[in-house]
Amino acid sequence: MGNKSNSNSFSQAFTGIWQTIQAQVHFPVLKANAKVPSIYVKNGQEKRPQVYPLLGDRYIIGRSSKNCDIVIRSPIISQTHCVIERDENNPLQFIIKDLNSTNGVYCGGKRYQSLNLFHNDLITLGPPELAEAIEIRYDKSPANWVLFARYGLLSTSVGLLLILGFMVLQWSQYQVHPIPDHTGGSTVVYAEDGKTLLSPRIESPHRELESLKEFSPYLPQALLASEDSRYYWHFGVDPLGIIRAVLVNQEGGRQGASTITQQLARSLYPAVGRENNLARKWREMVVATKLEAIYSKDTILKTYMNRVYLGINLYGFEDAAQFYFDKSARELDINESATLVAILPAPNAYNPVQDYDTAVNLRNRVIARMENLGMISNEEASQARRSRIEISPKARQTLSQVIAPYYYSYVFQEMRELLGDDLTQEGDFIIETSLNPKIQTIAEESLKNHIDSNGKSHNFSQGAIASLNSKNGEIIALVGGKDFNESQFNRATMAQRQPGSTFKVFAYSAALESGISASKTYSCAPLLWQGFQYKACERTGGATNMTQALAQSENSVALRVAKDVGLSSVVNMAKKLGVESPLNPVPGLILGQSEVNLLEITGAYTAFANQGIWSKPHAIKVIRDGRDCEDFDNHTTCREVYRFNETGDEQKQAIKKTTAETMNRMLQQVTVSGTGRTAYLGKQEAGKTGTTNKGVDLWFIGYVPKNNILTGVWLGNDDNSPTNSSSSQAALLWGNYMKKIL
């Protein structure tokens, strides 16, 4: 009995020792998220392992507390079982070595004398078949940046493979060989009758050069400098160009990113489409990359130079060189090459016949780019910049036949806003406008005759007229200056001028919208507002109501009305009625301190003439795709790309009908008994005069409700010098012109 009891006690003690694993080394505590190699030690019966960070160079594992760093009290472990130490040749690597143990070191069921350790290796001390075998798992988690780089590289590789696979699939949908023999058609612009062309067509055969080397060497240099300086670097799509365009456009600028290859893809392959959306841009990139994979860079560049649209019905630089300079593209100098390249963004608007000053400025930009890129010397660039653009008499005669040149050039400005620069540049569109050629001719003659008759005595030399259909905002006539041949600057759309008292309508309409009655009386006394002293009424004494104050254009009352309703409300009203120019919310805004252009402020009056419905001023009614027609002899069968107000945001109820009706009655008093009496026609016309300080700008904006014609007139000088007159001159011109067209 005694022997049996002693045997049981020994067995229990032995079992306790067998199941005990203890470490004799005190390992330091690591910082949170610290990444160091570690081992996790666990026997077959334990639930949680012991963790030992390997901060040192050598760790002996065994049963001996005297000789071992990590002590494991288990019968299957030798006194000194194994050692884990750094590799002398690679200090970042650890090795486990068997120290002649009885039961050995195993990995994957195989016994090793020495083994390099890798992340997540599972080592057993003793045969792995034993339930009590000691398990050691080696952990060497890589640093976060390594994991990020590893998975980032993996993700990028997978992404690139997917994109490549998708591109191959997309490529199979487009055939780019052979290159289509297509030069397209010109962009034609029709007047409102759908028959009258605003610009003549050139009847001449299309010519191409056989090789890139035949072109003047300056021509491809100018083209690459202006349109695609990384042409010989990219693969059809320019990633750097795309990034630059995104950044520029986010900052409010306008920047395209299409490469020469993309432009060619869009112009030659109908499958790319002509929509102004991302789907079309994607198809364009797919075809461009396939073109680059099949054809050489020189072949693509030569094809582009032979086919690119250069205005009217000119396709390719050989056609344009023959037309503008009466010579071959082989013979062009730096000046001529840069001139033709400079008109690419808008060839119908920027050509040197119709807008010489703009053509020169754009040419000089191209020359500067060529010089900066080292294509030409400083001396060559200087000589080219100091040269005139000598246009052939044939080109001058042809382009001088353009009907309504100011209107025609504005059509392409509007087209760029609707379709973007890329598609506008491509050409082959049919544009239906609202131009009335008869009224346009009267507008041009009326402005010129008035300036010739009255300009010298009243000291004004320029003017502009914009006539709209007040029902829908269609521009029926647009004159941007006295003589287009003398100056192509469009003063109706491009000149930012102070509008004077024509701006007061926004204060009065905002007040009416807020519930203030037109019969409310206001003091005519001087007014101090935000530190500025404004004079008392000039034509009215004591107090007056809003109707009379507007008719007499009294500043102090308009300011008091604006003060009642708030400057922000006045700004909001102007914006609601289509004024897009920046407006500074200060008292001077009410008197026309912030600059606007004639077309936008004239367009604002459509709401007063049309029961509160504002219509965006526009020249273009419809744009059609000249390449997609059921009957190419009938342009009305061509697919519509754009139609005015098809989205519903170009015409809207901007103010209440009652507000518009009250404003209409108030504006009628301006011509009956107010400052606009020289515009009186006796046809219930309504309008507003405007004169800025020293008579620098003279305005009248008015309409005849029953005829739905709204016209804005501006007179002044380009150098902002004062006139010797007032808005009565603008009102007089308005009245004489409107009598002729009504």
Tens-place pLDDT, residues 648-695? 889 999 999 999 999 999 999 999 999 999 999 999 999 999 999 999
SS3 state at 515: coil
In a domain, 451, yes or no: no
Of the pLDDT bands very low, low, confident and very high (cuts 50, 70, 90), residue 249 is low
In a domain, 11, yes or no: no
Burial 440-468 (b: 16+ CB within 10 A, else e): bebbbebbbebbeebbeebebbbbbbbbb
Of the pLDDT bands very low, low, confident and very high (cuts 50, 70, 90), residue 149 is confident
Note whether 119 and 225 are same-domain residues. Answer: no
Note whether 265 and 368 are same-domain residues. Answer: yes
In a domain, 658, yes or no: no
Domain count, the chain: 4
In a domain, 702, yes or no: no
What pLDDT digit, counting tens, does each position of 601-657 carry? 999 999 999 999 999 999 999 999 887 888 877 888 888 999 999 888 899 999 999
**For residues 167-182, average pLDDT:** 69
Q: Percentage of the chain surpassing pLDDT 90?
A: 62
Identify the domain boundary among 353, 384, 400.
Answer: 400
pTM for this predicted structure? 0.69
Identify the domain boundary among 545, 577, 593.
Answer: 593
**For residues 212-222, average pLDDT:** 95
Nearest to 614 by CA among 566, 565, 663, 569: 663
Note whether 167 and 310 are same-domain residues. Answer: no
In a domain, 424, yes or no: no
Note whether 81 and 162 are same-domain residues. Answer: no
Note whether 65 and 126 are same-domain residues. Answer: yes
224 close to 238: Cβ distance less than 8 angstroms: no
Note whether 54 and 70 are same-domain residues. Answer: yes
What is the CATH number for 394?
Answer: 1.10.3810.10
What is the CATH number for 554?
Answer: 3.40.710.10
Amino acid at 593: Q
Taking 80 as the threshold, does the pLDDT of residue 110 lie above it? yes
Q: Cα 722 to the chain's mean position, in Å?
A: 38
Note whether 278 and 366 are same-domain residues. Answer: yes
Nearest to 427 by CA among 686, 637, 189: 189
Of the pLDDT bands very low, low, confident and very high (cuts 50, 70, 90), residue 18 is very low
Taking 60 as the threshold, does the pLDDT of residue 2 lie above it? no
Task: Provide the domain limits for residue 521.
Answer: 502-593
Amino acid at 380: E
Taking 80 as the threshold, does the pLDDT of residue 453 lie above it? yes
Note whether 309 and 353 are same-domain residues. Answer: yes
Per-residue pLDDT at 182: 60
SS3 state at 705: helix
Per-residue pLDDT at 129: 87
In a domain, 251, yes or no: yes
Q: Where are the alpha helices (DSSP H) in 628-726?
A: 657-673
Per-residue pLDDT at 350: 78
What pLDDT digit, counting tens, does each position of 309-332 carry? 888 778 899 999 999 999 999 999
**For residues 338-362, average pLDDT:** 86
Q: Which two tokens stand for residue 201?
A: 């067509």
- Range of lowest pLDDT (343-357, 400-414, 445-459, 491-505): 343-357
What is the CATH number for 101?
Answer: 2.60.200.20
- Conformational region of residue 684, where left means phi above 0, alpha means psi within -120 to 50, and beta covers everything else: left
What pLDDT digit, counting tens, does each position of 270-321 carry? 777 666 677 778 788 888 888 888 889 999 999 999 988 888 778 899 999 9
What pLDDT digit, counting tens, does each position of 543-590 carry? 999 999 999 999 999 999 999 999 999 999 999 999 999 999 999 999
What pLDDT digit, counting tens, does each position of 69-84 carry? 999 988 899 999 999 9
Per-residue pLDDT at 448: 96
**For residues 194-203, average pLDDT:** 83
Nearest to 458 by CA among 737, 735, 739, 732: 732
350 CB neighbour count, 10 Å cutoff: 22
What pLDDT digit, counting tens, does each position of 87-103 carry? 999 988 999 999 999 99
Residue corresponding to tokens 């301006």: 670
Dihedral pair phi/psi, residue 144, rounded to 5°:
-60, -40
In a domain, 279, yes or no: yes
In a domain, 438, yes or no: no
Note whether 366 and 509 are same-domain residues. Answer: no
Note whether 163 and 240 are same-domain residues. Answer: no
DSSP tag of 180: P
Note whether 83 and 152 are same-domain residues. Answer: no
Per-residue pLDDT at 607: 97
The overall average pLDDT reported for the chain is 88
Note whether 392 and 247 are same-domain residues. Answer: yes
3-state helix, strand, coil in the chain (%, to 5): 40, 20, 40
